[in-house]
A and B are shown apart, each in its own frame.
Chain A
Amino acid sequence: MPVRVVETSAPSQISGAISEQISPPFCTLLSVGQTFSGTQNVSSLQKDEAWRVNVRIQGYDLDHGYLCGTMEALNVPMADTPVVTFWEGEIVDGKNYTFFTGKWEASAEDDIRHWTKFPSFSPFLCQVEVDGGKSLDLSNYPCIFLRWKEQYFVNVGTDCGLTIAGFYYVCFSCTDGSINGFYYDPNSSPFQKLELKSTNEGRSGFSFSSYELQ
């Protein structure tokens, strides 16, 4: 019988029976294969601009607080084709990652400044200021907080005139699968907003597929 590994898209048992669970719950709308589309606002002082963006989840490892996928930006002025990047995500679960980034030139103040822009973060502010939210019980909260960091360009060269030096603070809503995010890069305009909704790809309803690693 093949061994089931932790990197399955659906964890073995999340029935709330595990007394120590404080990590965010598993949510089918954030599982592998799920797609989201919307916009990324890239406004600067000079102009108002928004790119259409599609995101697809490709990997999910709840135990290690890991997520990954692709992001496709359409109607990018400098590019002839949509620009696709591969990103990796950290799930704020109090075990693998806290609300404090601790890298990517983001200070604790930067972290707080960004998380507080999400209304659903407000109940946690006090505790996070104390210990980064390590002791919070996130298991029944209908939002999942993440950081997404683009790792490389999939279909264009690094000389395409675009940057992936920064990362996104992300809030995912388990209720309707909507995603809000803010791009952080000390060398770019602040608070560029990402707004995505779960897509059904032409279906009237939600469809789910899955893979399993051996």
Chain B
Amino acid sequence: MDLLNRLASLDPDIKLKALREVKNQIIGNRTKKLAFLKLGAIPAVASLLAAAIAEADSQLKNGEVTIADKNSNYYNNNTFIQSAAVLGSFACGFDDGVRAVLDAGALPYLIQLLSNPDEKVVDAGARSLRMIYQSKLTPKYEILQDKKMEFLLSLLNSESENVTGLGASIITHSCETSLEQKSLSDAGVLKKLLGLLEGSFSQRDASLESLAALFRNNPEVVSKFVGQESGSALSSIIGLTKDRYPRTRLLACMCLIVIRNSSPFYLQDVGIKTKLLYLSLELLDDPGEVGDEAPFVFSSLIMEKEDLQKLAFEANALEKFSNHLQNSRLHPKRLQGILLALADICSKLESCRYRFLSLEVWNMVTNALTHDSAGVRTAACICIRSVTRSIKNLCAGYFMNEVLVIPLVQLLNDSLVSVQVAALGAISNILVDFTTGKSTFVQCGALKQLIQLSKSMESTVRLNALWALKNMVFLADDRCKEGIFMELTASLLASLICDHNPFVQEQALALVRNLIDGCISSVEYVFTENGIILDAVRKQLESTSKAEIGIQGMYVLGNVASGNEFHKEAVMQQLLPQVDNENQSFIIKFLQSNDSRLRTAAVWAIVNLTFPSSPGAFRRLIKLRSLGIVPEIRNMVNDPCLDVKLRVRTVLGQAVIFGDGLT
């Protein structure tokens, strides 16, 4: 392109003019940015910058300043300013641009501009770097390295607004660990940032964001900040929640929420909670970026906090978000934020789910399952997952319908693993169905997909597919179970029980547990293919140190032991210690576990093995005594957990029936 040729011109005037033209064309114009990027404009501009820096450096080395030098100084400075502006503009809100600027090696050159004697050059460099440091793609600034901390502090101490703003942006971008937070705090950065809260609106905003980065999950830094200025530091931020700029109000709100979430001592009273809630809801009405970000700020306030979800419910947050949802031309980021906020409000309270369902915007959520943006599709799944925690509605089969199930099942083929996993989460809940819904699910081909996903290379996918299957098998009728087992096969189940990922093992064991509950003939499943499943269960129980695996495995054995004589004898075989192994059964370590759920599961198996109505019960009791199991159980007669204690007494009560004097 002609413009790029002119950039390469030997004539400095032409070069400079071309630079200005590129700058003017790309500013705020994503299409132009992309077009120029494809033509290689960024490396070209980066080279110009590098060349200008090299020339300026060599002049310095020469010492004397001639008229020619002064001329080239003028061109150099302008080149610095214009190329910095161009590179910054490419990086502004445009990921591909950021990548290209970094790949062109421009970052160190821009940093060099900050030491230039000319204020305008410094400013241009700082502005450009601020845009680059807004992107997650930019590599982390290693705050803890010697010279780096010094340099960062010098930025914060500068007279220039853009340079202090850059210092704050770097902190926002790169301050992550508690050590980094502490080091910055110890270096006096908190005081500096507090001062910036009184500065221009740009300085205030930059300061609020970097303070949040310093506070995040660090109660010591929070306390140190709040202690400044005789306790009025916090009031400075609270005051900014009433600022006339919406962005400042949003950032102040966000910063206060971070303080609240990071320290139990501040901002915990109902007054401030309510204020923050209403503020984040009000900011939703902003038509621009502030409104796009408001739902995320709202979520950070209420996430995992039942009291705040209740307050949000009372503040009609559900209605507010639902009204926004009805706008058909939502920016994807805003739609994603709204869906996630709805998910958070409905995450714990049935009253919230009930109210949300009554607002009749459910179809908006299901529509979002086919959105172009992966973030929106994932958020829709997460919203559905929250709402389908409504046990009452699950029992009524409310969610098992085509409108919801078909698009969710389609997402199991999504190109992104994160979307598949989110869809599996929602499907797992819907499959807890007490009506005839499960067979509908099988009929629409979804079962095959779930089983396919249980063989995925990604362990989170395997784990979540098994979770869905586990819920599906729960109380399923015999035909449904048979259908599932034929597709899964004993070999696949056995290999999943022995998966290298313990969470996958746990889900596979829980699935088998559910499979063999119900009609007594279901117990036979663990004996198919020469008992390959039962062997796998035993193998895991012998080697595991994870309570959850012990619990599910023991319930599998316990369920088998509730069957007939053959089944009970098979379980006895599993309990026998291996000849070449340690000389006690694995069940003894479970009976001694700190986890009461595991102790309970282990004792239930023994209850079943010694169940009085079965012919071989007495013989098994004798054997269990010789294995040291009954004496171990006798020691548990005053177990601190009531459930365990009662089951232990059941075993001992059953033993008394045989009059063996074992108690």
Seen from chain A, the residues whose Cβ lies within 8 Å of a Cβ on chain B are 1-2, 5-7, 10, 13-16, 25-28, 32-33, 58-59, 61, 64, 66, 68, 70, 86, 88, 139-142, 151, 174-175, 200-214
Which of B205-213, B574-582, B639-647 forms contacts with chain A? B639-647
Q: A206 and B607: CB pair below 8 A? A: yes
For residue A211, give the distance in angstroms from its CB to the closest CB of chain B: 4
Q: How far is the CA of A25 from the CA of B609 in the complex (A)?
A: 25
Q: Does B555 sit within 8 A of A, measured CB to CB?
A: yes
Q: A205 and B608: CB pair below 8 A? A: yes
Q: A68 and B642: CB pair below 8 A? A: no
Q: Does B385 sit within 8 A of A, measured CB to CB?
A: yes
Q: B391: which of A13, A58, A204 is its contact (CB, 8 Å)?
A: A58
B contact residues around A203 at 8 Å (CB): 520, 562-563
Contact (A15, B514) CB under 8 Å given A59-B392, A59-B395? no
Which of B110-118, B292-300, B463-471 forms contacts with chain A? B463-471
Which residues of chain B in 601-621 are interfacial with respect to chain A, using CB atoms and an 8 Å cutoff?
A: 604, 607-609, 611, 613-614
Residues 214-236 of B, flagged 1 when their CB comes within 8 A of A and 0 if not, give: 00000000000000000000000
Residue of B nearest to A214 (CB): B425
Contact (A204, B562) CB under 8 Å given A16-B640, A174-B643? yes
Q: Does B564 sit within 8 A of A, measured CB to CB?
A: yes
- Name, among A5, A203, A205, the residue most crowded by chain B CB atoms within 10 Å (CB to CB): A205
Contact (A211, B563) CB under 8 Å given A13-B595, A202-B520, A206-B604? no
B contact residues around A6 at 8 Å (CB): 348
Q: B474: which of A14, A68, A209 is its contact (CB, 8 Å)?
A: A209
For residue B556, give the distance in angstroms from its CB to the closest CB of chain A: 10
Q: B464 and A2: CB pair below 8 A? A: yes
Residue of A nearest to B594 (CB): A15
Q: B520 and A211: CB pair below 8 A? A: no
Residue of A nearest to B432 (CB): A211
Q: Does B396 sit within 8 A of A, measured CB to CB?
A: yes
Which residues of chain B in 535-560 are interfacial with respect to chain A, using CB atoms and an 8 Å cutoff?
A: 551, 555, 558-559
Q: B429 and A214: CB pair below 8 A? A: yes
Which residues of chain B in 441-479 are interfacial with respect to chain A, using CB atoms and an 8 Å cutoff?
A: 460, 463-464, 467, 470-471, 473-475
Q: A86: which of B395, B428, B613 is its contact (CB, 8 Å)?
A: B395
For residue A199, give the distance in angstroms from its CB to the closest CB of chain B: 12
For residue B425, give the distance in angstroms from its CB to the closest CB of chain A: 4
A contact residues around B434 at 8 Å (CB): 58, 70
Q: B640 and A211: CB pair below 8 A? A: no
A contact residues around B520 at 8 Å (CB): 201-203
* 24 intermolecular pairs with C-beta atoms under 8 Å apart: A1-B460, A13-B596, A14-B596, A14-B597, A16-B641, A25-B641, A33-B474, A33-B517, A68-B391, A70-B434, A88-B392, A201-B520, A204-B608, A204-B613, A205-B562, A206-B608, A209-B514, A210-B510, A211-B432, A211-B471, A212-B510, A213-B388, A214-B428, A214-B467
Q: Does B518 sit within 8 A of A, measured CB to CB?
A: yes
- Name, among B348, B421, B460, B642, the residue most crowded by chain A CB atoms within 10 Å (CB to CB): B642
Q: B596: which of A1, A15, A86, A207 is its contact (CB, 8 Å)?
A: A15
A contact residues around B425 at 8 Å (CB): 2, 214
Q: Does B23 sit within 8 A of A, measured CB to CB?
A: no
Q: How far is the CA of A203 from the CA of B561 in the complex (A)?
A: 9
For residue A34, give the distance in angstroms from its CB to the closest CB of chain B: 10
Seen from chain B, the residues whose Cβ lies within 8 Å of a Cβ on chain A are 347-348, 350, 385, 388-389, 391-392, 394-396, 421, 425-426, 428-429, 432, 434, 460, 463-464, 467, 470-471, 473-475, 503, 510, 513-514, 516-520, 551, 555, 558-559, 561-564, 594-597, 600, 604, 607-609, 611, 613-614, 640-643, 646-647, 649
For residue B345, give the distance in angstroms from its CB to the closest CB of chain A: 15
Considering the complex of A and B, which 9 residue pairs feature the smallest CB-CB distances, nearest first?
Answer: A205-B608, A205-B562, A59-B391, A209-B517, A16-B640, A203-B562, A209-B514, A211-B474, A25-B642
Q: How far is the CA of A102 from the CA of B106 in the complex (A)?
A: 71
Q: How far is the CA of A13 from the CA of B640 in the complex (A)?
A: 13
- Name, among A15, A33, A88, A211, the residue most crowded by chain B CB atoms within 10 Å (CB to CB): A211
- Name, among B396, B559, B646, the residue most crowded by chain A CB atoms within 10 Å (CB to CB): B646
Residue of A nearest to B459 (CB): A1
Residue of B nearest to A64 (CB): B350
Residue of A nearest to B475 (CB): A33
Residue of A nearest to B599 (CB): A15
Residue of B nearest to A26 (CB): B643
Q: How far is the CA of A208 from the CA of B425 in the complex (A)?
A: 23
B contact residues around A61 at 8 Å (CB): 391
A contact residues around B641 at 8 Å (CB): 14-16, 25
For residue B411, give the distance in angstroms from its CB to the closest CB of chain A: 15
Contact (A207, B558) CB under 8 Å given A28-B604, A212-B471, A214-B425? yes
Q: A206 and B642: CB pair below 8 A? A: no
| Other contacts beyond A25-B642, A26-B643, A59-B391: 7, CB < 8 A | A25-B643, A174-B646, A204-B564, A205-B563, A208-B604, A209-B517, A211-B432
- Name, among A68, A70, A209, the residue most crowded by chain B CB atoms within 10 Å (CB to CB): A209
Q: A2 and B642: CB pair below 8 A? A: no
Q: How far is the CA of A210 from the CA of B552 in the complex (A)?
A: 10
Q: How far is the CA of A94 from the CA of B434 in the complex (A)?
A: 31
Residue of B nearest to A9 (CB): B474
Q: How far is the CA of A16 from the CA of B638 in the complex (A)?
A: 13
Q: A201: which of B385, B518, B643 is its contact (CB, 8 Å)?
A: B518
B contact residues around A25 at 8 Å (CB): 641-643
Q: B474 and A210: CB pair below 8 A? A: yes
Q: B395 and A68: CB pair below 8 A? A: yes
Residue of B nearest to A14 (CB): B596
Contact (A212, B513) CB under 8 Å given A88-B392, A204-B564, A204-B613? no
For residue B481, give the distance in angstroms from its CB to the closest CB of chain A: 11
